[in-house]
Amino acid sequence: MLIVETVDLTRTYRHGSSSIVAVNKVNLEIEEATFVSIVGPSGSGKTTLLNLVGLTDCPTSGKVLFMDQDVSLLADKERRRVRLQNIGFIFQTFNLLYTLTALENVELPMALANIQHKAQRERASRLLEKVGLEERLQHRPKELSMGEMQRVAIARALANNPSLILADEPTGELDSKTGSGIMKLLLDLCREQKRTVVVATHDKKIIELADVTYLIRDGTIILK
Amino acid sequence: MCLGNLLRRRVRTSLCVLGITLAVMFIVTIGATTSRYTSIIREMNIFFNRNILVVAQGSIVVQAFPIGGGNLPEDTIDEVRRIEGVRKVVPMLVFFGYTLEDVIQLVPTNISIGIPPEKWAILVGSTPLKPDGRWPSTNSRAKEVVAGPSLADQYNLIVGSTIKIKDYNLTIVGILDTPSAVLARAIIMPLSIAQYVYFPTHPSWINMMVVEPEQGRAKEVAENIEAGITGLKALTADERNKIIAPLLSDIEMWNLGIRSMLFFLSMILVTIVAIMNISERRRDFATLGAIGAPRNSIFRIVLTETTLIGLFGGLLGILIGTVGTLFLASFYTNIPLTLYFQDLFGVVSPIFMVEILASTLVVSCVAGIIPAINAARANISEILRSEC
């Protein structure tokens, strides 16, 4: 079953009088429980495509179907609800909230989804344990290593049990050993927990691991 | 989380809280001090409020009492009694700002009142005396007086104590039991004693008369007194109110103006700090948005932060402002600070404190609206892309 499908997805940015086509008529088909990589050079439109699929950006034209529902025209409130309940984000720079502990960062999406505090705490602890950070629950991001921060970000992305996980250059800030650990974690999520993982990356090792790879250049998918 | 965000920028938050603290401190000090004195002035007109106050032309009158100006010879009393419509005339001798123990007071807080012994009621109504007290005897040689409770507390006066005014020893025979700010600072004595103490060379002088007119004829009787006897000013309660009303309204307007200006400045300060905080945390808000935080949650976070700044600044400002008010009152009146502390809520009323705290919270909350809208409307994809 397709979890995400894009139909002629286009995103154009206006820059003064000129316009830049960041994503140009992209058609993606992402099956459930697959590991998908989107590969391309810098500025090729990977992040824009991920933002469109993750509903943090609106297409100029075309459609995004999420579980067969056209979500590209949803109101902002609805898009946020879909993101909160169905999509987990992992960023290159982790984007953890620095005033919160690792545990609180993971609890955050659950708090926004109005899950009871006790249940939040239990699940957040379990998720952090799963990513190997059971000793770091009360540490703030500045007290964690880069790899640990990305693990917290992964735990946070899993907080509301999303069906789709979008990772934008998840290993970009990490050394190769730590990066491999993170990739293994993402792969396990896909293989063992049957989650769909879409990774935008330069990393060739990821391409080798992926079930499907899309090669993108100048906003257009040139190879699947 | 909100508190953590504020503590993350300790210096900025502290300076902002300090700014609000200073503003609230000034508001409390100025507001409480002026409202205390204006309420005392207003309270004065409770005295003799159906009667006419007669004083010498040129006297300065604040509500029910002359605070300066001429004296009247005692034979004027008979002239006033003969005016048509006058039912009763009570001569009095009133002095503000006398000192006990040669203590200088920048603000006249003590009042000394001489009144014929059989007429106490026109001044004190049904005010009782504390246990063991009695009213001064009619015997002018006895030199007996009653004192207000605040004076008694300040100078440890009890029944039987002796006080010295202008080299005359007077015996306290009663302490008033009253919440009235005017009577609390009063020494009340028979008129003859007051004349003896204050005008030993002219012992028949008075400086005010309280005239009880026939019912419904106050205005007419006052006009008759002024027309019939030269050199007198006769003021009904309405006229006395009219004299002081512009002053009170000016004080209130200035007070309101200062309060509005300080709150406005506080609001600008909080807005600036909040905008700085928001612009530094664009990525945090974009991350929250990406995770799926509804706009109103982000809006609430910013408003909570600015309101917390207002809460801390407001509480500190009220605390310091209250202590400042007490110090200021003590400095100007030379009444010991401990007495003011005992009457803390009399000096700065709890309602005033709550009003100021609520205003501070509203101001800081309003100050957060524009930054909160900015944070909630953050363009998630653009910020995450540009701030990577």
- pLDDT classification of B106: cutoffs 50, 70, 90: very low
Whose tokens are 């007495």? That residue is B339
- pLDDT classification of B63: cutoffs 50, 70, 90: confident
Q: Are A121 and A103 in contact (CB under 8 A)?
A: yes
Please list, residue by residue across A84-119, b when 16 or more beta carbons sit within 10 angstroms of its beta carbon and e when fewer do: bebbbbbbbbbbbbebbbbbbbbbbbbbbbebeeee
Q: In sequence order, what are the residues at sequence separation of 6 or more whose Cβ sits closer than 8 angstroms to the Cβ of residue B170?
A: B143, B144, B145, B162, B163, B164, B187, B189, B193, B197
Cβ distance B4 to A99 less than 8 Å, yes or no, reads yes
* B300 vs B125: which has the higher pLDDT: B300
- The beta-carbon neighbor of A95 closest among B1, B287, B381 is B287
Cβ distance A112 to B388 less than 8 Å, yes or no, reads no
On the CB side of A188, how many CA atoms lie within 13 Å of its CA? 11
Cβ distance A47 to B287 less than 8 Å, yes or no, reads no
Closest CA–CA distance from residue A97 to any residue of chain B (Å): 6
- pLDDT classification of B379: cutoffs 50, 70, 90: confident
- The beta-carbon neighbor of A83 closest among B283, B292, B384 is B292
Q: Is the pLDDT of residue B388 over 60?
A: no
Give pTM, 2 decimals: 0.77
Q: Are B348 and B59 in contact (CB under 8 A)?
A: no
SS3 content of chain A, % helix, strand, coil (to 5): 35, 30, 35
Chain A residues with CB under 8 Å of a chain B CB are 47-48, 51, 54, 56-57, 76-77, 80-85, 87, 89, 91-93, 95, 97-100, 104, 108-109, 112-113, 156, 160
Q: Is the pLDDT of residue B145 over 70?
A: yes
* A45 vs B332: which has the higher pLDDT: A45
- pLDDT classification of B107: cutoffs 50, 70, 90: low
Angle of the A146-157 helix axis to the A176-193 helix axis, nearest 10: 20
Cβ distance A51 to B384 less than 8 Å, yes or no, reads yes
Cα(B364)–Cα(B263) distance, rounded to whole angstroms?
9
Cα(A53)–Cα(A9) distance, rounded to whole angstroms?
10
Q: Are B221 and B229 in contact (CB under 8 A)?
A: no
- pLDDT classification of A84: cutoffs 50, 70, 90: very high
- Average pLDDT over chain B, rounded to whole? 86
Give the pLDDT score at B101: 53
B contact test, residue of A49, A97, A164 with most B CBs within 10 A:
A97
Complex-level ipTM: 0.89
Give the pLDDT score at B387: 55
Average of per-residue pLDDT across A109-132: 90
Domain ranges of chain A: 2-223
Least confident of A9-18, A131-140, A173-182: A173-182
Least confident of A133-147, B194-208, B263-277: B194-208
Chain B residues with CB under 8 Å of a chain A CB are 1, 4-5, 7-8, 283-284, 286-295, 297, 380-381, 384-385, 388
Cα(A23)–Cα(A45) distance, rounded to whole angstroms?
6
Q: Is the pLDDT of residue A204 over 80?
A: no
Q: Is the pLDDT of residue B62 over 50?
A: yes
The first and second tokens of residue B96, run together, are: 């503000």
- pLDDT tens by residue, A13-50: 887 788 888 888 999 899 988 999 999 888 888 888 99
Average of per-residue pLDDT across B26-53: 85
Nearest CA to B87 out of B240, B218, B206 is that of: B218
Q: Are B244 and B43 in contact (CB under 8 A)?
A: no
CATH number of A2-223: 3.40.50.300
Average of per-residue pLDDT across B219-237: 91
Cβ distance A80 to B388 less than 8 Å, yes or no, reads no
Angle B132-B135-B136 from CA coordinates, rounded to 5°: 115
Domain ranges of chain B: 2-42+244-386, 58-230
Average of per-residue pLDDT across B354-359: 95
- pLDDT classification of B108: cutoffs 50, 70, 90: low
- pLDDT classification of A106: cutoffs 50, 70, 90: very high
Cβ distance B384 to A112 less than 8 Å, yes or no, reads no
